[in-house]
């Protein structure tokens, strides 16, 4: 029993590194997505593994019974369940952001058609679309508002009627600017959520493998 518990404790030390991506294993390929950032000491999943490691240390010192071995495995399972819950919440958040983005993009297309402007939207919702949207805000929307404001400034003394007429297209440009800024914010939030989801998926796969091997070591 002592040898089995020592093996379990040693495995938990290795498992903590594996789940949190600090072991020397080759990185998991995620295609075109950016590499997931390394987790710091404050990561909740790292804390969960620390709890399990603490239980494993007790196992080594006290020559435990089968019930204490189950405590070690239970701590690892609790950490895994937290990962599953966080991953599900992340998927829900990504879905919500995508739906909200689709609505805003359609609003941009409709208003752009009304004011006879190019929507300047990409087919995807990735980093390239984010760059395109920022350029459109800087050069198209802000530029047109500044131009209208300058015309109003020049016309207001000599031709107030013309100045007043300019306010309508200026207001439309301002409405389009609001939509584009909102679109940019949603895109940034979506990209952050996607990166977080990739990190959680890697941790979940690693945790799943660790739990099965740990259960085999503990024979519970």
Q: Which residues, 6 or more positions from 55, have their beta carbon under 8 angstroms from its beta carbon? A: 68, 71, 72, 75
Claim: this prediction has a pTM higher than 0.75: no
pLDDT for 81-94, tens place per residue?
999 999 999 999 99
Is there a contact between 214 and 107 (Cβ–Cβ < 8 Å)? no
Write down how long the chain is: 220
Is there a contact between 109 and 176 (Cβ–Cβ < 8 Å)? no
pLDDT, greater one: 160 or 59: 160
Q: How many Å apart are CA 19 and CA 32, to the nearest integer?
A: 22
Q: How many Å apart are CA 189 and CA 154, to the nearest integer?
A: 41
pLDDT for 29-46, tens place per residue?
444 444 444 444 455 555
Average pLDDT over residues 143-153: 92
If DSSP states are collapsed to H, E and C, what string results for 104-165?
HHHHHHHHHHHCCCCCCCCCCCCHHHHHHHHHHHHHHHHHHHHHHHHHHHHHCCCCHHHHHH
* pLDDT at 180 exceeding the cut of 80: yes
pLDDT, greater one: 162 or 6: 162
Which tokens is 37 given? 């950032």
pLDDT for 5-37, tens place per residue?
555 555 555 555 556 655 544 444 444 444 444
Domains of the chain by residue range? 2-97+201-218, 117-194
Q: How many Å apart are CA 184 and CA 192, to the nearest integer?
A: 13
What one-character DSSP code corresponds to residue 63? Answer: -
């Amino acid at each position: 029993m002592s040898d089995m518990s020592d093996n379990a404790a040693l495995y938990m030390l290795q498992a903590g590194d594996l789940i949190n991506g600090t072991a020397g294993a080759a990185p998991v390929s995620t295609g075109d997505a950016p590499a997931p950032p390394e987790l710091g000491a404050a990561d909740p999943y790292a804390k969960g593994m620390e709890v399990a490691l603490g239980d494993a240390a007790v196992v080594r010192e006290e020559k435990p019974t089968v019930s204490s071995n189950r405590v070690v495995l239970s701590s690892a399972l609790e950490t895994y369940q937290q990962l599953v819950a966080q991953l599900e919440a992340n998927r829900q958040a990504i879905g919500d952001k995508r739906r909200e983005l689709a609505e805003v993009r359609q609003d941009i297309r409709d208003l752009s058609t009304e004011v006879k402007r190019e929507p300047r939207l990409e087919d995807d919702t990735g980093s390239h679309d984010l760059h395109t949207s920022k350029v459109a805000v800087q050069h198209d929307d802000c530029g047109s508002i500044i131009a209208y404001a300058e015309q109003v400034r020049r016309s207001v003394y000599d031709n107030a009627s013309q100045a007043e007429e300019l306010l309508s297209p200026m207001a439309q440009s301002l409405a389009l600017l609001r939509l584009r800024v909102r679109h940019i914010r949603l895109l940034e939030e979506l990209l952050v959520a996607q990166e977080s989801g990739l990190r959680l998926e890697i941790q979940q796969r690693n945790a799943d493998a660790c739990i099965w091997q740990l259960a085999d070591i503990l024979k519970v």
